Every structure is written in structure tokens, then in C-alpha cells.
Amino acid sequence: MKYFSTRGEAPVLGFSEVLLQGLARDGGLYLPETWPTFDADKIASFAGMPYADVAYEVIQPFVAGEISDQELGDMIRDAYAGFRHEAVTPLVQIGANSFVLELFHGPTLAFKDVAMQLLGRMMDHVLTKKGLRATIVGATSGDTGGAAIEAFRGRDRTDIFILFPDGRVSPVQRRQMTTPTEANVHALALTGNFDDCQSIVKGMFNNFGFRDRVALSGVNSINWARILAQIVYYFVSGVALGAPHRKVSFTVPTGNFGDIFAGYAAMQMGLPVEKLVVATNVNDILARALETGRYEMRGVTATSAPSMDIQISSNFERLLSEVSGRDGSAVRRMMNQLTQSGSFTIEDGPLAAMREKFLAGRCNEAETAETIDSVLKQSGYLLDPHTAIGVHVAKAHDSGETPMIILGTAHPAKFPDAVEAACGVRPALPPELQPMMSAEERQEILPAEQDAVERHIEEHARAVHSGV
């Protein structure tokens, strides 16, 4: 399998290079040249299989020839062995035909663990084979950072630097980044918002001198391997509810558009999906874009679902590429307009193609709190604010006939204050995470400026100083 950049000006690469590069050298995102497809019999055969076995079937066609089947299978089994639930991503019924897909049974209680636990192992594997070291950077609005640090802490071939908006993540999220004691972990609190962090990360990738000096690599969902690992749970949950013999729908709490793009990929691979519903909080740029055809940045409002407080939604570029016939120049034009004027218009054809597959809705703060409270009262089920946004938006699109799967993206205990304010119940952290709440914190506070971040990384990255 080869991968091309959405902007059409970077080299076509194989999986290992795409994994290490993160962002393409033309600023674009990598996509597979073709979508492997599964027929109905193959999809039906996933029913009752262990999660790791489905993961192997879904992921193998994307990495074949670069990682051996044996090594891939071992990495996948190892990645999911530590999850708190035997099913890895269990479904819980919360309504007549609606289900929460619990994606938060990994080590940091967020859906990011599902991909990150595998990504850490894959990167280590590829770096070891090549005899290389890498400097990993990531931007986080709260969850990616903790999950990435957990996946890479103590790994000899990588140093990890996570940029997060100072004061805008929950205390649990912050402590997951600031309490690990391993020397290769660096939590950088930036005086800005998530979009500032993400644009500094992309800026560092576009500064080739720096990029090459520190052997830069990325773990945000700009990295194709993140999306790849997330495709698996669409198949697992869809098949559990009757696919391929009937269609299923998904509602996805959305920010950077990575998780829902994995759903789109599952559809391209043959999973019969009726609707993919984008659920946003008041930072609703994606809902507005799908409604009006205009992608237009406004300020970011801090909410009780901080991981979705995003305006520049990286993976939307992947969808733009798909619906524009993979025309790199069309994607470049839109992305340049976004940089220059903070907005762009999606042409009628591509917009219609998007609307064939995607629906969208938004949820404000009062609705988020009301949903947490009412679902607890009606079903005895405790939602986190991000998942509550999904449940609220799903209601408007639930036909009652097609199973509606709402992606449960975080454990409520990551956001105890917001959950308690909404319903009076304060969710407790699993015992193994509780010591973190009184452990010493270690972070560097930096201005939201690319120069300052680059200087800090150059001083601390072993890839610069070890000569490997």
C-alpha cells in the first residue's frame, strides 16, 4: 500500500515512512492510494471474533509488506491486552435502539488509547529496525497528550513533547501529562488555546531545518496510523449490532475530525453505514461548514468538553481531498484561503458528496448538562460531557429503526467537576489512577510561539544530542 499527500506535492510513501513522518512535507496529510474493501462474508466473519483479531484483519492490508504479519499480530495483541474491559470497546445500550460504544477502557480513560497503544509499539518497532531515534511532538486539547505520553513514556528511541493550552484542560488531563517521571517525557503548557498548539506543531513540521535536525515525528491524528487503528471499532461495533446484514449509524463527538474520518474509512471499506453524524459543542465550525458550505473560523469558547474546543479541524482536509476527487491543487487552494483569511467555501459538488454521508448537529453547555442528568435518571448510565454531546445530537438523527452507535470518547471520571455539576454524582477515578492526583507535577510554561518551543525541544531532544 502506498500513501499520497492531500496536497499532492509530497513524495508518495510506504506505511513505515508515513508512520514516522506524521505530516507530509507539503503540509498535507497522508491517505492510502486505494481503500482495501471487504465483502459481506468477510465482514460477517468478524462476528464474535476477539477485538485483536478484527484489528489484525482491518489493519493488515494497510501495512502489508512493511511490517510482517507475525510482528503485526503480536503488537496488536500486546496493545490491547492491558485494557480494563475484555471486549476492549464494549457496547452499552442506553435507549430503545441507541448504544454507547465505550472507547475509554485504556490506560488514560480516553478513546485515544485505542490508537495510541498500537502507535507507540509500531513506532518503536520501525525505529528499532531502522536504528533511528525520533522526537515526537503533539498538540492536545486534553486527551491526546495523556494517551501519547502513556504510550511513549520510558521508550528509549523517542522523546515526547506535548503542547497543551495552559489552564484549559481538566486537572485529571493535566496530571496525566505532568506527573510521569520518565526523562523522555516533556509536558509544555502554552499560553494560548489548542489551535495555537496545533498550528505550532504544524509550523515545526514545515520548518524543514528543524524537522530534520530533531528527527521530528507526530502522534496527532494528522498521522495516518492514528486513524487506521480507529477504523477497527467501527467494524467491531457495527458487526455486533447486525452489520453487514443491516445498516448501522454512528454519532461521533468531534473536534479534529479524526475519529469520524475513521468511520468514513470503514464505510469506504465496505461497512454498511446509514449515517455518520458529526456532533460538536458550541465550537461548531464543522456543523456550520456542513450546513452552509462555508468553513469559517470564529473564536474558540472554553466549554465543559475541552477536548472538542477546536476551530482548525485537521482531518477535515482528508475529507476535502476525498470529495474533491483527490485533487491536490483544490485542497491547497482551500487550505491557503484558510491560512490567509480564516475561511474558505466548499464547492457545490464536493459539498453534496459530503452531505451524502455526513450529518451534523451541535450541543450547547446547558444541553450537555441536561443530557448527563437525564440519561443518568432514565438509564442509570453516567456520561462524560463529550459523550453527552454525542447523545444529544444523536437524538435528532435517530430513526428508531437503524441502531445508533454513539462513540463514548472519554470516561466521566476525567471530568468530575462538570459531571457533578450536571447531575450531582462525582465519578471516581479507577484506583490505579488515583495516586496521580497527589503526585508531583513537572511542566514547562512557554509562550505560544514556535521559536520558543523549537528552542526548548532542541535543548532537550536526545535525537539532536545522541548522534543516532
Ligand X SMILES: N[C@@H](CCOP(=O)(O)O)C(=O)O
From ligand X, ligand PLP, none, interface partner of 409 (C-beta below 5 to 8 A by class) = ligand PLP
Output 135 or 140, the one with its CB closest to ligand PLP: 140
Residue 112 is among the residues annotated as catalytic for this protein: yes
- By CB under 6 A, the residues from 423 to 442 that bind ligand X are none
SS3 sequence of 376-405: HHHHCCCCCHHHHHHHHHHHHHCCCCCCEE
Query: What is the smallest separation between the CB atom of 407 and ligand X, expressed in angstroms?
Result: 13
Query: How far lies 101's CA from each of 268, 409, 427, in Å?
Result: 21, 8, 19
217 lies in the binding site for ligand X (CB under 6 A): no
Site map for ligand X, 144-163, x if CB under 6 A? Answer: xx------------------
CB of 141 to ligand PLP, least distance (A): 6
**What own/partner pairs with CB < 8 Å and gap ≥ 24 does 349-352 have?**
349/323, 350/320, 350/323, 350/324, 351/293, 351/323
Smaller CB distance to ligand PLP: residue 220 or 450? 220
Task: Please tell me whether residue 141 binds ligand X under the rule CB under 6 A.
Answer: yes
Per-residue binding string, ligand X, 231-270, x by CB under 6 A, is: ------------------------xx-x------------
Which is nearer to ligand X, 216 or 241 (by Cβ)? Answer: 216
The CB-of-260 to ligand X minimum distance in angstroms stands at 11
Can residue 220 be called a binding residue for ligand X (CB under 6 A)? yes
Segment near ligand X (CB under 6 A); pick from 101-109, 141-149, 346-354, 395-403: 141-149
Identity of the residue, 110 or 391, whose beta carbon is nearer to ligand PLP in the bound complex: 110
Q: What is the CA radius of gyration of the chain?
A: 20
- By residue count, the chain amounts to 468
Specify which residues 273 forms β-bridges with. Answer: 248
Could you say whether residue 412 binds ligand X (CB under 6 A)?
no
432-441, Cβ contacts within 8 angstroms, sequence gap of 24 or more: 433/109, 433/172, 436/172, 436/175, 436/176, 436/179, 437/171, 437/172, 437/175, 439/175, 439/179, 440/179, 441/174, 441/175, 441/178, 441/179
350 CB-near residues (< 8 Å, 6+ apart): 320, 323, 324, 330
The entry of ligand X, ligand PLP, none that residue 116 binds, CB within 5 to 8 Å by partner kind:
none
- Binds 314: which of ligand PLP, ligand X, none (CB < 5-8 Å by kind): ligand X
Q: In terms of CB distance, is 90 or 255 closer to ligand X?
A: 255
The terminus-to-terminus CA distance of the chain in angstroms comes to 29
Residue 197 corresponds to which cell in the numbers above?
A: 498548539
Within 121-140, which residues bind ligand X (CB under 6 A)? 140
Min CB(223)–ligand X separation in Å: 8
Cα dist from 198 to 58, 152, 203, 222, 375, whole Å? 29, 19, 8, 10, 34
Kindly tell me which residue out of 124, 143, 322, 454 binds ligand X, with binding defined by CB under 6 A. Answer: 143
- 140 touches which of ligand X, ligand PLP, none (CB within 5 to 8 A by kind)? ligand X
Decide whether 111 or 344 has the Cβ nearer to ligand X. 111
For position 142 contacting ligand X by CB under 6 A, the verdict is: yes
Interface positions with ligand PLP (CB under 6 A): 110, 142-143, 221, 253-259, 307-308, 386, 409-410
One of 2, 42, 112, 129 is an active-site residue; which one?
Answer: 112
> Which is closer to ligand PLP, CB of 321 or CB of 409?
409
Binding residues with ligand X: total (CB under 6 A): 13
Q: Which does 24 bind (CB under 5 to 8 A by kind): ligand PLP, ligand X, none?
A: none
Residue 170, contacted partner among ligand X, ligand PLP, none, CB below 5-8 A by kind: none
In terms of CB distance, is 5 or 198 closer to ligand PLP? 198
Residue 148 near residue 161 (C-beta atoms within 8 A)? no
Residues 314-353 that bind ligand X (CB under 6 A): 314
HSE (CB half, 13 Å, CA atoms) of 382? 17
What are the Cα distances from residue 35, in Å, to 267, 269, 304, 358, 384? Answer: 10, 6, 37, 19, 33
Beta carbon of residue 74, minimum distance to ligand PLP (angstroms, whole number): 27
Q: How far is the CB of 285 from ligand PLP (least distance, A)?
A: 12
Binding site for ligand X (CB under 6 A): 140-145, 220-221, 255-256, 258, 307, 314
Which active-site residues does the annotation give?
Answer: 112
